[in-house]
């Protein structure tokens, strides 16, 4: 079950470094700041994989995404300017025109092998939490230069689901993802 504590009640726990946020004492949910390590193609299915890595740590979280979402992320990582706004550019512009800004993205849940995320948008009326697919939320976060957080339980559960499948192949894939160097990723090739 994901943490549902109000963002206003969050505090930075003094025993952890800054990229770790404890949602509340009663829910004790650790949120870990992650960054995009790369965008690669799954060697088996050729589907894009967003590889997130802890800002201050070694754990990685691969998230398989659709081709269009992968392309939207790839375009932003490469700094390519489209002649007309793409959907994620439109969403960012709309949020800004309405007086808000994307404060952060939170990958909050993993249920039935599906990741769930929230866009946290700060506006004059307060904090809005908008349900989103992680791929769309990450694409908007990149355009807004907003940080990406993942609940610790999501990382742990993603690993346990992977291990419950074919442990040999998944173990090799996880090891391969963790050991990717910047040279292996190239310029976010897909």
- Domains annotated on the chain, with CATH: 7-185 (3.10.690.10)
Please count the helices (runs of H) and the strands (runs of E) in the chain: 6, 8
> Cα torsion for 150, 140, 190, 48, to the nearest 10°?
50
In this prediction the pTM is: 0.73
Confidence of residue 31 (pLDDT cuts 50, 70, 90): very high
Do 131 and 86 contact (CB within 8 A), yes or no? no
Q: What is the 3-state secondary structure (H, E, C) of 117-139?
A: EEEEEEECCEEEEEEECHHHHHH
The pLDDT tens digits of the residues spanning 47-88 come to 999 999 999 888 889 999 999 999 899 988 888 888 898 889
Highest mean pLDDT among 3-12, 14-23, 181-190: 181-190
């Amino acid at each position: 079950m994901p943490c549902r504590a109000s963002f206003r009640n969050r505090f930075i726990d003094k025993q952890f470094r800054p990229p770790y946020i404890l949602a509340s004492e009663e829910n004790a949910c650790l949120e870990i700041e992650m960054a995009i390590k790369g965008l690669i193609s799954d060697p088996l299915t050729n589907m894009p994989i967003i590889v997130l890595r802890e800002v201050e740590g070694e754990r990685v979280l691969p998230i398989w995404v659709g081709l269009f979402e992968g392309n939207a992320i790839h375009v932003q990582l490469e700094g390519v300017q489209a002649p007309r706004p793409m959907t994620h550019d439109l969403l960012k512009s709309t949020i800004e025109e309405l007086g808000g800004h994307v404060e952060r993205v939170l990958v909050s849940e993993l249920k039935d092998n599906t990741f769930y995320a929230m866009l946290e948008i700060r506006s004059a009326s307060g904090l809005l939490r908008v349900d989103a697919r992680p791929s769309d939320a990450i694409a908007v976060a990149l355009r807004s230069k907003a940080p990406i957080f993942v609940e610790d339980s999501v990382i742990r559960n993603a690993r346990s689901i992977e291990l419950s499948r074919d442990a040999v192949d998944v173990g090799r894939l996880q090891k391969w993802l963790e050991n990717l160097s910047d040279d292996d990723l190239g310029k976010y090739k897909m």
